[in-house]
Structures are given as structure tokens and as C-alpha cells.
Chain A
Amino acid sequence: DQQVKQNSPSLSVQEGRISILNCDYTNSMFDYFLWYKKYPAEGPTFLISISSIKDKNEDGRFTVFLNKSAKHLSLHIVPSQPGDSAVYFCAASGSGSARQLTFGSGTQLTVLP
């Protein structure tokens, strides 16, 4: 089941630069998307979400872009900080509901000082 795909298992970025994490989905019924980050030995922590009626949502250093025609979303982190080093998960759900999230496999982001 590959309904939500994160094709890059890892990404390294210099501190202060932009981090771009990508996510693709195949299920056209998905209409609500979330990004979570996860540190070792902790649960996923919510970062930012976007509904399918929007194509961009911004919260501080984090911006999520949604391209519905391409079934693609991306998370931009600007500027990247060493504390951002974590695994980032993309997740999606349908019918505007957070009841059942389908997660991607995650991308390990390393921000180098």
C-alpha cells in the first residue's frame, strides 16, 4: 500500500538554508494533509496541515504547498536549524477527517551546523 509516498529517506541541509521535503499521494479522495516530525523515543509531533481547498499554508518557518493536480505536497523550512533534525512524516486523510491518517515512510532531515 503506497498511497502516500516520501521518496527521499534522508536529506541533509546546512543551517540557515532552506529544507524542502516532498510527499506524493495517489488517492484522489485525500483532502486533508498534515506534516509531523518525530524525534527518537518520542511520538510524532504535529507541525502544520493543509486542506485541499488551499494550495499554501504558512506557520512561522514552516510552509506547506499543495499541488492537487500533481498530487504532490511539500514542506519548506526556512531557515533550517540544527534542532529541526528529525524524521518528518507526511500524512493524509479523506473526507476532511483526521479519523484515519495514512502516513508516508518518513524523511530523516539532518541540519548541519
Chain B
Amino acid sequence: EPEVTQTPSHQVTQMGQEVILRCVPISNHLYFYWYRQILGQKVEFLVSFYNNEISEKSEIFDDQFSVERPDGSNFTLKIRSTKLEDSAMYFCASSEGWVNEKLFFGSGTQLSVL
């Protein structure tokens, strides 16, 4: 079965540094998402992306965050200046459509900000 691929699986960074988390969505999917899960908390929506622009974003997704689809296959999440509270598991997801569609999630990138 096709899958969403995320790299790296673990990322350790110093506070204030920029990080880029990478994702390869399923090839025929058109809608892309980032979610995150802080340890012991719920999975939270960050942003959705379609047709090379952000469709929706949550309050978490502030100016420090950005997303990009630099080529036909990759989808990235950039955190410009990481904070301790950005430490979380970040999940990329994709779906074929918008309405009543299931999301396919990647295995996640565990980000640790020191």
C-alpha cells in the first residue's frame, strides 16, 4: 500500500535554530497536512495545503512556521527559530480529496529542542 514518508525520524536542535521537516506524500494525493503531538497531549492540527497554498491553519501555526512544496514530490514544514515548546512528534498526512476523505499519516519526526 502506498505510504507517506517522513524524514528524518528524529531531529535534535538547539533553541533558536531553524529546522526543516520533510515529507513525501502519496503520489496521487492533492491535499497535504501537518499535525503534531506533544508528549502526553492530543494530536493537534497545524496546517492544510492545497494547490500550492495554505488552506487552513491553526493558532499554533504562527509566523515561525511555514510550509512549502518545493517540487512535485516533497512537502516541508519549516520552523524558523525553534523554541523548547516546539518539541513534539510532527506528523505529515495527505489525502486524495477534501470531503469525507481519510488522511494517510506518515510515521512522524520526533523533534527535540534543547
Contact = CB atoms under 8 A, between A and B. Distances in A.
Q: Do A and B come from one complex?
A: yes
Interface of A: 32, 34, 36, 41-46, 49, 51, 89, 91, 96-106
Interface of B: 4, 6, 31, 33, 35, 41-45, 48, 55-56, 58, 91, 93, 95, 98-108
Nearest to A39: B107
Max chain B CB contacts within 10 Å: which of A51, A91, A98, A104?
Answer: A98
Contacts of B58: 100
Nearest to B46: A100
A109 to B, nearest CB: 17
Given A43-B4, A89-B43, A98 B105 contact: no
A100 B93 CA distance: 11
B110 to A, nearest CB: 9
B30 to A, nearest CB: 12
Contacts of B108: 42-43
Contacts, number: 62
A98 B98 contact: yes
A43 B103 CA distance: 11
B107 A41 contact: yes
Contacts of B101: 98
B44 A98 contact: no
A100 B107 contact: no
A99 B55 contact: yes
Given A43-B91, A103-B43, A98 B103 contact: yes
Nearest to B57: A100
B25 to A, nearest CB: 12
Contacts of B4: 43
A100 B100 contact: no
**For the complex of A and B, 8 pairs with smallest distance between CB atoms:** A43-B105, A103-B43, A46-B102, A98-B101, A44-B105, A99-B48, A100-B45, A43-B107
Nearest to A2: B42
A66 to B, nearest CB: 13
Contacts of A100: 45, 48, 56, 58
A106 B31 CA distance: 25
A32 B100 contact: yes
